[in-house]
Amino acid sequence: MKRPTKVLIAKAGLDGHERGALVVAMGLRDAGMEVVYTGIRNTPEQIVAAAVQEDVDVIGLSSLSGGHMAQFSRVMKLLKKEKIKGVLVFAGGIIPDEDVKKLKKLGIKEVFGPGSSIASIAEFVKKSVRSK
Amino acid sequence: MTEPREEPGTFPFTRGVHATMYRGKLWTMRQYAGFGTAQETNKRYKYLLSQGQTGLSMAFDLPTQIGYDSDDAMALGEVGRVGVAISSLADMEQVFDGIPLDKVSTSMTINATASILLALYLAVAEKQGVPWSKVSGTVQNDILKEYIARGTYIFPPRPSLRLIADVVEFCVKEVPGWNTISVGGYHMREAGCTAAQEIAFTLADGIAYVQTCVERGLAVDDFASRIAFFFNCHSNFLEEIAKFRAARRLWAHIMRDRFGAKNERSMMLRFHTQTAGSTLTAQQPDNNVVRTTIEALAAVLGGTQSLHTNAKDEAIALPTEESALLALRTQQIIAYESGVTAEPDPLGGSHYVERLTDELDAKAREYLNKIDNLGGMLKAVESGYVYKEIYGAAYEHQKAVERKEKIIVGVNEFVSGKKLALKMQKTDPKMEPRRRRDLAALRKKRNRVTVDKCLATLGKAAKSSENLMPILVDSVRNYVTVGEICNVLRGTFGEYRATHSI
């Protein structure tokens, strides 16, 4: 049997807003995926190390502090540096539209804003992993 | 149950802590705001004071809240973002330059580093020649909810509780006009808990603090009246009004029966309210004005002592000047036009509101009993029980929204119109390098021997049970920084790292 899709939900930055990250984590778990949650306050280095250690297929990055450009681009850079390929990265939180475009250019597949449903996120992950 | 003839202003205060309520004095309209640098904050405060405001509200950036100086690697990208950056007395002096501390009262939203920021405030007072007996203000100083919902903890819960008791004990003797703890349910509600859970978890935090201070040897009536509360006001109008009534009644009984308080002021639950940021939506943002109005009205009918109304774009962007003004006008219309201030607890006696009050009282009691059975709130937090309860409720809410059992106008029903463009506060990119340069200069200018001596004294005292406040005041006087102090305390107390599995 194929192992279930393994997802790391990661919170970058110093802020403590984790409701969104946790609700998405629980939603993906109930959609049949294996989910690891980092907790709050992680550096990009810690996030990439956790992704490697847990050997995940997907990384979901969450940010609500406004530091997403610096933190997410560093995560993408480190993934490249560590030669980690084939990991799907998506993001969520309070991310301005102008930054969404920039993040997608860096290789972040999708950005989910406030009001997104768990169903739509789970659907996106399933489809993207299948088509990989 | 509400006593058949319970009057406002009498035990157990279900109907309010004052007999005349808003006929005597309106609630305080206190809008929370943050500014990046000490200079900007000083300028803003001077403007507000010139407009007749006497209460200042101080928001800190995240590095200050979790004990890192602006030049620490951990602070990268976060300096001055959600409030003012304070690393040393030099910053605090600049914030209050030309503002006599005996003429204002300052409310500081600060928790893990509350003792240090209070020490800094007192050192500024000293330099201004203002005796500590003449300063007044508030520190949030409510660490337990940080582990559960807000996230700005540093040390493990036990040494953190010791720091809280150090502040309370010190203020009883030295700074009698200081409000030492503001026990908050706001953030737990934002994180997703229910109204009954908000009451129970907030009061359980309050019980833990009072218990810690009593165990320290303080007499309950000497400090209890300096503890206040901070609640959310959510969208369910009648339930929220009942929530405030039930919370007041429960706290009065807890203080009298559990802690043996004799002074009625120790039994009065006084509180600040903020409308619920989590009920605001990016979709059809004008609807948020209506939501905030209903929530603010519930807070007033529930008898709040002060109120912050959210701007319609507040939860997802930097409020514009226009939206911030509209939020304040909302309170003024309720206060001066609606007529609801004519009578204290105007809904008291309504069958439905009284029933809801009794139901919430009973549900909150059940949680409180459960927490007692777990060995108290400290144990309940350490075991992850509270965290699981809250995020479980958040998940249930989300599922109910997706199944359309709960309707959010503009989100899962009546969808049309345009979405609010998400904006971010832009911070000055030159600020962080400038702060690093200023701090480097400060570190060079200080007397290194004195600084090292202060830190050594602090390290030794932290290992004992001595009250740390006098040592903190002495340290900051000598320009020892917030980060240096916290690094010493991290060495002794250790750091808390949440390990919750989902």
Q: Answer yes or no: do B82 and A117 touch at CB < 8 A.
A: no
Q: Answer yes or no: do A15 and B82 touch at CB < 8 A.
A: yes
Q: DSSP string covering B135-193, please?
A: -EEEE----HHIIIII----S-HHHHHHHHHHHHHHHHHH-TTEE-EEEE-HHHHHTT-
| Helix segments in chain A, DSSP class H | 19-30, 44-54, 68-81, 97-105, 118-130
Residues 6 or more apart whose CB falls under 8 angstroms from that of A51 comprise A8, A10, A59, A79, A84, A87
A50 reaches B (C-beta below 8 A):
no
A84 reaches B (C-beta below 8 A):
no
Taking the CA atoms of residue A59, residue A63, residue A67 and residue A69 in that order, the dihedral angle to the nearest 10 degrees is 40
Q: Answer yes or no: do A115 and B282 touch at CB < 8 A.
A: yes
CB-facing half-sphere around the CA of A93: CA atoms within 13 A = 29
The CATH code for residues A6-126 is 3.40.50.280
CA distance A124 to A31: 12
B394 reaches A (C-beta below 8 A):
yes
**pLDDT given for residue B1 in this prediction:** 55
CA distance B52 to B7: 34
Torsion sign, CA atoms B267, B174, B458, B60: positive
Q: Which residues on chain B are in Cβ contact (under 8 Å) with A35?
A: 502
Reduced to 3 states (helix: H, G, I; strand: E, B; else coil), residue A110 is strand
A20 reaches B (C-beta below 8 A):
no
Query: Is the distance from CB of B21 to CB of B335 less than 8 angstroms?
Result: no
CA distance B112 to B493: 13
Q: Answer yes or no: do A16 and B149 touch at CB < 8 A.
A: yes
- Among A14, A39, A65, select the one facing B66 at the smallest CB separation: A14
Q: How would you label B224-254 residue by residue, b for 16+ Cβ within 10 Å and e otherwise?
A: bbbbbbbbbbbbbebbbbbbbbbbbbbbbbb
CB-facing half-sphere around the CA of A63: CA atoms within 13 A = 29
Q: What is the mean pLDDT of residues A90-114?
A: 94
Q: Answer yes or no: do A39 and B149 touch at CB < 8 A.
A: no
Interface test with A, best of B424, B426, B499 (most A CBs within 10 A): B424
Q: Answer yes or no: do B151 and A15 touch at CB < 8 A.
A: yes
Residue type, B114: A
B498 reaches A (C-beta below 8 A):
yes
**pLDDT given for residue B34 in this prediction:** 67
Q: A-B interface: how many C-beta pairs under 8 angstroms? A: 90
Residue type, B164: I
For the CA atoms of chain A, what is the radius of gyration?
13
- Among B78, B152, B501, select the one facing A16 at the smallest CB separation: B152
Q: For B412, which residue in chain A has the nearest alpha carbon?
A: A115
First to last CA, chain A: 19
B166 reaches A (C-beta below 8 A):
no
- The residue ranges of every structural domain in chain A are 6-126
- Among B316, B398, B500, select the one facing A114 at the smallest CB separation: B316
Q: Answer yes or no: do A15 and B62 touch at CB < 8 A.
A: yes
Q: Answer yes or no: do B502 and A25 touch at CB < 8 A.
A: yes
Interface test with A, best of B422, B486, B496, B501 (most A CBs within 10 A): B422
Per-residue confidence in pLDDT tens, chain B, 502 aa: 555 679 999 999 999 999 999 998 999 888 777 677 899 899 988 988 887 777 888 999 999 999 999 999 888 888 988 899 999 999 999 999 999 999 999 999 999 999 999 999 999 999 999 999 999 999 999 999 999 999 999 999 999 999 999 999 999 999 999 999 999 999 999 999 999 999 999 999 999 999 999 999 999 999 999 999 999 999 999 999 999 999 999 999 999 999 999 999 999 999 999 999 999 998 999 999 999 999 999 999 999 999 999 999 887 776 777 888 899 999 999 999 999 999 999 999 999 999 999 999 999 999 999 999 999 999 999 999 999 999 999 999 999 999 999 999 999 999 987 777 777 667 788 888 999 999 999 999 999 999 999 999 999 999 999 999 999 999 999 999 999 999 999 999 999 988 777 7
Q: For B64, which residue in chain A has the nearest alpha carbon?
A: A14
- List, for residues B349-365, the tens digit of each pLDDT value: 999 999 999 999 999 99
Q: Answer yes or no: do B398 and A23 touch at CB < 8 A.
A: yes
- Among B76, B152, B395, select the one facing A26 at the smallest CB separation: B395
- List, for residues A21-78, the tens digit of each pLDDT value: 999 999 999 999 999 999 999 999 999 999 999 999 999 999 987 889 989 999 999 9
- Among B81, B192, B498, select the one facing A40 at the smallest CB separation: B498
**pLDDT given for residue B78 in this prediction:** 87
DSSP label at B319? P
Q: Can the peptide bond before residue B12 be classed as cis, meaning omega within 30 degrees of 0?
A: yes
Using CB atoms and an 8 Å cut-off, which of residues 324-383 of chain B contact chain A?
A: none
pTM: 0.95
Q: DSSP string covering B349-385, please?
A: T-HHHHHHHHHHHHHHHHHHHHHHHTTSHHHHHHTTH
CB-facing half-sphere around the CA of A112: CA atoms within 13 A = 21
- Among A23, A67, A114, select the one facing B77 at the smallest CB separation: A67
- Characterize the bridge pairing of strands B306-308 and B136-139: unpaired
Using CB atoms and an 8 Å cut-off, which of residues 240-299 of chain B contact chain A?
A: 278, 281-283
ipTM above 0.85, yes or no: yes
Higher pLDDT residue, B70 or A15? B70
For residue B327, count other CB atoms closer than 10 A to its CB: 25
Reduced to 3 states (helix: H, G, I; strand: E, B; else coil), residue B207 is helix
Q: How far is A83 from chain B (nearest CA, A)?
A: 26
Residue type, A45: E
The position carrying tokens 């995560």 is A75
| Helix segments in B177-282, DSSP class H | 186-190, 195-215, 220-223, 237-253, 264-267
Closest CA to B259 of B207, B204, B205: B207
A102 reaches B (C-beta below 8 A):
no
Q: For A68, which residue in chain B has the nearest alpha carbon?
A: B77
Strand order in the sheet with B55-58: B55-58, B105-108, B136-139, B178-179
Q: Which residues on chain A are in Cβ contact (under 8 Å) with B283?
A: 115
- Among A19, A66, A117, select the one facing B191 at the smallest CB separation: A19
Domains, chain B, in order of start with CATH, read: 21-32+109-402 (3.20.20.240), 447-493 (no CATH)
Q: For B390, which residue in chain A has the nearest alpha carbon?
A: A19
Q: For B68, which residue in chain A has the nearest alpha carbon?
A: A14
Residue B427 Cα distances to B36, B58, B81, angstroms: 7, 18, 6
Closest CA to B82 of B107, B65, B105, B106: B65
CA distance B88 to B108: 16
CA distance B132 to B224: 20
Q: How would you label B118-138 residue by residue, b for 16+ Cβ within 10 Å and e otherwise?
A: bbbbbbbbeebebebeebbbb
Query: Is the distance from CB of B42 to CB of B99 less than 8 angstroms?
Result: yes
- Distance, CA of A25 to chain centre: 10
A14 reaches B (C-beta below 8 A):
yes
Q: Which residues on chain A are in Cβ contact (under 8 Å) with B424?
A: 66, 94, 96, 99
